[in-house]
Amino acid sequence: MTKLRKTSKTKLHDESLNTGSGQTILKPDVNENKVRSVTDLRESGQSTAPPASEEDRRIRQAFVDKDWNEIKIADSWQIFKVMAEFVDGFEKLAKIGPCVSIFGSARTKADNKYYIMAEEIAAKLVRHGYGVITGGGPGIMEAGNKGAHSEGGKSVGLNIQLPFEQFNNIYIDSDKLINFDYFFVRKVMFVKYAQGFVVMPGGFGTLDELFEAITLIQTKKIGAFPIVLVGRSYWQGLFKWIDEVMLQVEKNISAEDLDLVHIVDDPTEAVKIIDEFYSKYLLSPNF
């Protein structure tokens, strides 16, 4: 019969495996050689195969426990960096006046119909008294800033530092270009200083910004500012699924939530929706 007992170090003794030898064989602790922190890893001098890529290194790093000193130092500096980005954004945008945020893909080329439409929408918005806020990069963002710049309006660029794709375009007002490391800080600026949202076709980043705005309006964290999606053929499939599956089958949203967005094909119609919103609340741009 096998008798198991725990020692103070929680190691298992299996006495039956060594019957008659007069000795007890200890089963090894599987955690005995586990590296518990980044400091342990450095001090152990263990060599491992180099990571295949930067992404591989970041994933491996996420699984290494950090000691309290490492956590305290890293998190403290991160807090200050986040604060600095908020302060910079608040100072530059506090008196910006009524603006509309334009979202869309960084990959859209200048000869694409949606680039041309975004430029036209931005120009019309400026002529109607609004400033334009974009993500500050190429593609649709460039088109938005270009349209605003061409009409002498306020052209704001909230640029994000990325390892690829993103660089600020040349149509942003020099005093209204802000660079961010953190997406969540940048999204606060997009929403806090905009009184409307125009969403052109884009990728995951555009969807993130779109649903951020919808969620904040749905949960009444911000006012019910207009959200205008441009390009019916691009957006109707997504919102057909939202209607038929998310609403009718799963009932995860309310029917009135679908009224938070407007889907159009024409730049004039997009700007008209923004204007009608202001007229409804007896508001008018003040710059």
pLDDT at 36: 52
**pTM for the structure as a whole:** 0.76
DSSP letters, 156-215, are: EEEEE--SSS----TTS-GGGEEEES-HHHHHHHHHHT-S-EEE-S--HHHHHHHHHHHH
Axis crossing angle, helix 183-192 with helix 204-218, rounded to the nearest 10: 50
For residue 95, the model assigns a pLDDT of 86
Instruction: Read off the tokens for 55.
Output: 């992404």
> Which residues are paired to 12 by β-bridges?
6
b/e sequence 106-125, b meaning 16+ C-beta within 10 Å: bebeeebebbebbbbbbbbb
User: What pLDDT score was predicted for residue 13?
Assistant: 44
Residue numbers of the chain with a pLDDT score lower than 70 = 1-52, 68, 164-166, 281-287
Q: What is the pLDDT of residues 188-204, one digit of tens each?
A: 999 999 999 999 999 99
3-state secondary structure of 4: strand
pLDDT of residue 205: 94
- pLDDT tens profile 139-154: 999 999 999 999 999 9
d(CA 163, CA 83): 23
Q: What is the reported pLDDT for 116?
A: 98
